[in-house]
Amino acid sequence: MPPLLNIAVRAARRAGDTILRYLGRLESYEIATKSRNEFVTEVDRLAEQEIVQTIRQNYPDHGVLAEESGRHGRPDSEFLWIIDPLDGTTNFIHGFPVFSVSVALQHRGRLEQGVIYDPLRQELFTASRGEGAQLDGRRIRVSRTQTLDHALVGTGFPYRSKAEWVDRYLDMLRVLMDRSAGVRRPGSAALDLAYVAAGRFDGFWEFGLQPWDMAAGVLLIREAGGLVGGLTGEDDFHEDGNIVAGNPKIFAALLEAIRPFVR
């Protein structure tokens, strides 16, 4: 395993251990929503701290872009770690068993390493640019599904703060519910993207994701032979977080299905 990927794995596992350590304490926070939210924010912060400390111990000059703490470290560094310490926070709050840790590394703006870790299932998805993608050390590839009517598609609902996308999203959902074998919304975008890479989902689309939601998953899918793009297929999902992904056939079919609602 490349040294940089090894550090990403170590960081993700430490964050996952922190998350699980606090998972069983949620019951005492059921009385007040505010106290529960503060608790989860603290879990996010502690998990992120584990990741950042692991990186800093080994690469103190690298930059960091993290969900909780924003961008910090050397601003002129060629290396940027992109971190989501707990993707699927709402699931975590409710004890719904779908959440993950996402750690990616960019060098000069190009994704080089990616890790998505599911601490409950202890599944570790990893990718290094040009070296393929793996799940627990075994090579993974996107699915071979050829047509949308046989495809299982993942998605995520637009957040309330992105209300302007809801109508377009519902139009797309209506079409894809009719044309696909099924649509699923587990609630952790990073894990959804990892599932595309592993062939568990044939495709995926969502609006308004953040860099830390997507970075590791994008590299995993590309290294597993899949495609990732914006709503028109262009490489512009970094700008607005609107993303479509899948194996080559389903990627094209998704773009065709949603085209009437893209504007």
Q: Are 230 and 237 in contact (CB under 8 A)?
A: yes
Q: Give residue-wise pLDDT tens across range 185-215.
A: 999 999 999 999 999 999 999 999 999 999 9
Taken in order of first residue, the domains within the chain and their CATH numbers are 3-140 (3.30.540.10), 148-261 (3.40.190.80)
Rounded (5°) CA angle 184-68-55: 100
pLDDT over 60 at 34, yes or no: no
> What local confidence, expressed as pLDDT, does residue 30 receive?
47
Half-sphere exposure of 91 (CA within 13 A, CB side): 18
Per-residue pLDDT band for 90 (boundaries 50, 70, 90) equals confident
Q: What percent of the chain has pLDDT over 90?
A: 78
Q: Which two tokens stand for residue 206?
A: 């969502």
pLDDT over 50 at 31, yes or no: no
Per-residue pLDDT band for 221 (boundaries 50, 70, 90) equals very high
Per-residue pLDDT band for 37 (boundaries 50, 70, 90) equals low
Q: Which two tokens stand for residue 174?
A: 């209506």
pLDDT over 80 at 1, yes or no: no
Per-residue pLDDT band for 32 (boundaries 50, 70, 90) equals very low
DSSP state of 61: T
pLDDT over 60 at 236, yes or no: yes
Separation between Cα atoms, residue 228 and residue 251, nearest integer Å: 8
As a whole number of angstroms, the longest Cα–Cα distance in the chain is 51
Q: pTM for the whole thing? A: 0.94
Per-residue pLDDT band for 53 (boundaries 50, 70, 90) equals very high
Q: What is the mean pLDDT of the chain?
A: 92
pLDDT over 90 at 95, yes or no: no
